[in-house]
Amino acid sequence: MYEAFYNFKEKPFSLLPDSDFLYLGDRHQEALSLLEYGLIQGASIVLITGEIGCGKTTLVRHLIKNQDLDMIVGNITNTHQSFGELLKWVMLAFDLEFRDRDKVELYRDLMEFLRAKYHQGKRVTLIIDEAQNLSMEGLEELRMLSNINVDKEQMLQIILVGQPELREVLRKAELRQLAQRVGVDYFLDAMNPKEAFEYIRHRVEIAGGNPELFDLEAIREIYLHSNGVPRLINTICDTALVYGYAEQAKTITGKLIEEVIRDKSQGHILPLHNDAAMPAAVTSDSPVHISIG
């Protein structure tokens, strides 16, 4: 709708994870460096957690996309307990047959697959998204998979991506063996004001638009009501572009963002924040605070 009006080649604030739009602020760069270290050093399990919408999945996709071609990656996103046995989902993630096989046969077939890839010089990585939804049985299966190794080399690396409660689950006494196999652990926090400022301009520029499309007051309002969470920033910005197009506004202003926030707040669905919840330094009336950190 608004792409042509703002000279975009694509939507800059899609809610779908897209590693092409990844902005590496201090937090995301630190997380990426640790993830890369974990893969290179052969960590059995790499753990990345963070609040909903902080960019965990996008970061992992960027990591995998920029790794060498000798890596075979399997993704599991359906982790709810009602979806069944984890081992079958692991087989499906690597396009291995799992129908009409019991657990022993599944484990044997997976081992044969991993050994074959290991001897071909290929690394196999399993990514489990929304891992906080795994059952205790699923986590125990995961522990067994993390035991797989040949001559001190890890045949299967596991990346667990989840919300903060995953960390609490892994602290349980019955899961201490699994927790001890976590070689790299990082908590991805929301963006600070400076990062949010750069993030918005980065995404606009990547999409082909004018990086100054959102003025400073608009960015300040966006940060105040998103608390620096990328997914909420994207939601506010995308809606603002629709409103801006409707008003034929060449610049997205703070006043327009206030209109978006007012309309969004009436639905009581989007978990927006308000000034009262912000630290004093963030709620300063000066938008310059956000632009230069």
> Is the predicted pLDDT of residue 78 greater than 80, yes or no?
no
pLDDT tens column, 150-163: 556 678 999 999 99
CA–CA separation, 141 and 182 (whole Å): 15
Query: Tell me, what's the pLDDT at 43?
Result: 86
CA–CA separation, 68 and 36 (whole Å): 12
pLDDT tens column, 83-96: 568 889 999 999 99
Mean pLDDT of the chain: 86
In which band, very low, low, confident or very high, does the pLDDT at 250 lie, cut at 50, 70 and 90? very high
CA–CA separation, 185 and 92 (whole Å): 26
pLDDT tens column, 104-125: 999 999 999 999 999 998 889 9
Spatial neighbors of 166 by CB under 8 A, at least 6 apart, are: 47, 49, 131, 132, 160
Select the more confidently predicted residue: 217 or 37.
Answer: 217
Query: Tell me, what's the pLDDT at 276?
Result: 33
Q: For the chain, how many residues are written?
A: 293
Residue ranges and CATH numbers for the domains of the chain are 26-188 (3.40.50.300), 191-292 (no CATH)
